[in-house]
């Protein structure tokens, strides 16, 4: 059987990110979806119909201004990982911490 197609769009302005490393996060429960940037909540959808009930794939996009040429831009999207919440404590299980370091050049 085919999965039903579920799609929705939203926009949220975020501050200029600069050249430093940043963390993006998504908290997905049965009752809401919350997006995070550097540990701070950006937006929350509290609608059970918005929660798809199927695996999700995070996607990052760079969108310019319409009909205007933008300066060259690049992004290094290093890697991602996920945790399942402990249903009893409502907290993320402990995972290995990230370490930040500067690289000489991109791959």
**Tens digits of residue pLDDT in 14-63:** 767 777 788 888 888 878 888 888 888 888 888 777 777 777 777 777 76
CA torsion, ordered 23, 28, 32, 34, to nearest 10 deg: 0
Average pLDDT over residues 67-77: 72
Q: What is the pTM of this model?
A: 0.57
H/E stretch holding 91: strand 91-92
Q: Is the pLDDT of residue 3 over 80?
A: no
Burial of 50 (0-12, 13-18, 19+ CB in 10 A): middle
Q: Is the pLDDT of residue 89 over 70?
A: no
């Amino acid at each position: 059987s085919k999965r039903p197609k579920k799609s929705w769009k939203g926009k949220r302005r975020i501050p200029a990110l600069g050249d430093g490393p940043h963390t993006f996060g998504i908290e997905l429960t049965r009752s809401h979806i919350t997006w995070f940037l550097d540990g701070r909540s950006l937006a929350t959808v509290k609608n059970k119909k918005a929660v798809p009930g199927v695996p999700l794939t995070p996607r990052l996009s760079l969108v310019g201004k319409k009909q205007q040429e933008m300066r060259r831009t690049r992004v290094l999207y290093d890697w991602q990982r996920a945790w399942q919440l402990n249903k009893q404590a409502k907290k993320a299980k402990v995972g290995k911490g990230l370490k930040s370091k500067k690289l000489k050049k991109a791959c």
